[in-house]
Structure 1
Amino acid sequence: MDLYKFPFDSQICNVTFQSTAYSVKEILIDVITDDRFITQESKETFQAEGEWELQSVHNISDTIFIWNEMDLLIYQINIKRRPLLYVINIIVPVFFFLMLDLASFFIVGEDKLSFKVSLLLSISVMLLILSNTLPSMSQKMPLIGIYCLAIFCLIGISIVETIFVNYLKAKGAKKKSVETTSTDSGSDDDVSDLQNPPASVRDQNEEQSFIPDLLKQILAARREKKCLSLIIASRLIDKIFLVLYTITFIVFLSVLLTLWIT
């Protein structure tokens, strides 16, 4: 079976009639009616509501030579799979998982990472169901397998990007909080030192009093700017990744749909 376009695939089954004992001089095998009548009668007879739908029946007359020339008749039965069951159970849920992953970029807070991990686990379950549903094949992966695997990789890449963005935000917030704490403690120490300065430190305090307050403000502003730059960089990376992520899955789904339907 050719399962490359599963579940939108069609199969051709050959039924061969041939005599292995008599040559064409003794037996001639031929059809009574043409292909159109055979197809119409077969569709009226074949009324099963199962997985397959009968498309057409063609006949081919030929001769082969084994030990003598023998007559041969082949009926080519073209059947098409009904894809509705697989669309509802596999394709649509995986597509909604991709849409949820896209919507998760607008989640604020640490719940974003856990939400994406849950989506990745859901895709893993769908891949397990798909592996049990597909018949065994030996040549190339079906398009539905490429579809699920590509979405699995996209969600995995988005998880890595979320971890990196959260790391930058946490690092910037941590530096900002540490510098704020150190600034507050330093100012409290200066106040306590000014109120009760030891005799051995009076000379040093007098020398440090000449340091301009403007220089301290410039250093504090630079530190705060460095902390804010990490947070701004994380937001910028998140926005750029969202745009690239959207373009990637739109192009991927367009190409895959073209291969599936044509």
Structure 2
Amino acid sequence: MLWIPDIIIQEDASDSGSVIKGPHLTLNSSGWVFSKAQQRLTYTCQLNLVKFPFDTQSCNITFTSMSSDVHTMKLGTLTNDTALTALSELIMITKGEWSLRSMEVVRDRTTNGTKSYLIYMITLERKPMLYVVNFIIPLSYLLVLDLASFFISQSSGEKLSFKVTILLSISVLLLILQDMLPSTEDSLPWIATYCVAIFALVGISVLEAMLVSFLTELGHQCGKKAKGSENAREDIQLEEDFHKEPSGDEERGKVTPEKTYMPLDWPVAHDLLKRILDEVKAARLQAGSKDKDKNERGCCKSLALTVDYVFFFLYLITVVLFLMIVYVSWIKTGF
């Protein structure tokens, strides 16, 4: 009979059906006996996802005996850490989104002098390129598009709808992020902070576009009312001048021809004066066309332009500072 030690893995969460023991033993001339077993291991590991997807995780695989104490059985390894890491990389079939960074061994560690523990400290590094291409870069691109939307003319009416479209696109990416991250994480990951911050910045930009649109429309309404009132006053004044009746002395014919301001042929002179005054009115309107935009703009439109310019510069500074902080604190540490 051959005694095989009862070695277990403490972090093992797989069933017993995943273990396949080799049917043969190897015995060499020095007295060493080798027994082989294959196991698909499912084990628990506490992950720190603060820097996801630029995170590096360290997990332990602990070997110990169920019944034997440290005096009966002492666990150890035949190879050093470097050889073990190289061998593990060689025989790994599927790596998925992880790459093996290192594997360290803590030899013969005991707890209260009762049992011997052999601990493999495995360091895994996530491959972030998939998340960068599908998630981080599109969010940055949407933020740049929101900055570029400030150059869209407010009079076109497409600026606000364009910003709302960007906000809806970010909302779709937030739904994808919900499926990526586990809900049991205590601290907020950097990628969630990144998404929420961009969503908040674009949301504030949409509110600013609504305010500017309201002020611009209010300025147009005020300009139209002021222009209509001015034209009405001018028309009334001209009508009073044209249709002003002669005085009592003129009706009685007591005014001498030398002191009469109107020609003797009154209907023809009236038409002539009306044409002259129409030409004067047209010339006056043409001379004031240079200041038309300024008069229509009014105080509301000037305020809208000031708010738009000031907000753009503050928004640009905030975005640049935010991207710098994200790069230094999150992305740079992952490469």
Question: Which category describes the TM-score, using the shorter chain as reference length?
Answer: 0.7 to 0.9
Question: Structure 2 residue aligned with 1:58, among 83, 86, 104?
Answer: 104
Distance, in Å, in 2 between the alignment partners of 1:143 and 1:128 is 16
Question: Structure 2 residue aligned with 1:95, among 129, 140, 144?
Answer: 140
Distance, in Å, in 2 between the alignment partners of 1:90 and 1:227 is 43
Q: What is the match of residue 206 of structure 1?
A: none
Say which structure, 1 or 2, has more relative contact order (CA 8 Å, 6+ apart): 1
Task: Determine if contact 2:56/2:125 at 8 Å carries over to the other structure.
Answer: yes
Q: What is the match of residue 136 of structure 1?
A: 183
Distance, in Å, in 2 between the alignment partners of 1:136 and 1:13 is 20
Give structure 2 stretches of 5+ with no counterpart.
Answer: 1-46, 247-290
TM-score, normalised to structure 2, is 0.67
In the TM superposition, residue 240 of structure 1 has moved relative to its aligned partner by: 1.5
- RMSD after superposition: 2.0
Considering only CA atoms, is the larger Rg found in Structure 1 or Structure 2? 2
Residues 189-228 of structure 1: pairs in structure 2 closer than 5 A: 189-196=236-243, 227-228=297-298
Q: What is the match of residue 27 of structure 1?
A: 73
For residues 132-188 of structure 1, what are the alpha-carbon distances to aligned partners after superposition, in whole Å with 9 as ceiling and x for unaligned? 122333311111111011000000011111111122221122111111011112222
Name the amino acid aligned to 1:63: T
Q: What is the match of residue 36 of structure 1?
A: 82
Q: What is the match of residue 118 of structure 2?
A: 73
For residues 62-108 of structure 1, what are the alpha-carbon distances to aligned partners after superposition, in whole Å with 9 as ceiling and x for unaligned? 1013xx62111110111111111111111010000000000000000
What secondary structure does 1:50 align onto? coil
For residues 211-258 of structure 1, what are the alpha-carbon distances to aligned partners after superposition, in whole Å with 9 as ceiling and x for unaligned? xxxxxxxxxx9xx76953332222222111111111111111111111
TM-score, normalised to structure 1, is 0.85
Distance, in Å, in 2 between the alignment partners of 1:198 and 1:126 is 77
Question: How many residues of Structure 1 are paired with residues of Structure 2 in the alignment?
Answer: 237
**Between structures 1 and 2, the one with greater helix share:** 1
In the TM superposition, residue 126 of structure 1 has moved relative to its aligned partner by: 0.3
Distance, in Å, in 2 between the alignment partners of 1:84 and 1:2 is 19
1:9 is the counterpart of 2:55: yes
Distance, in Å, in 2 between the alignment partners of 1:45 and 1:237 is 63
In the TM superposition, residue 198 of structure 1 has moved relative to its aligned partner by: 8.6
Sequence identity of aligned pairs in percent? 38
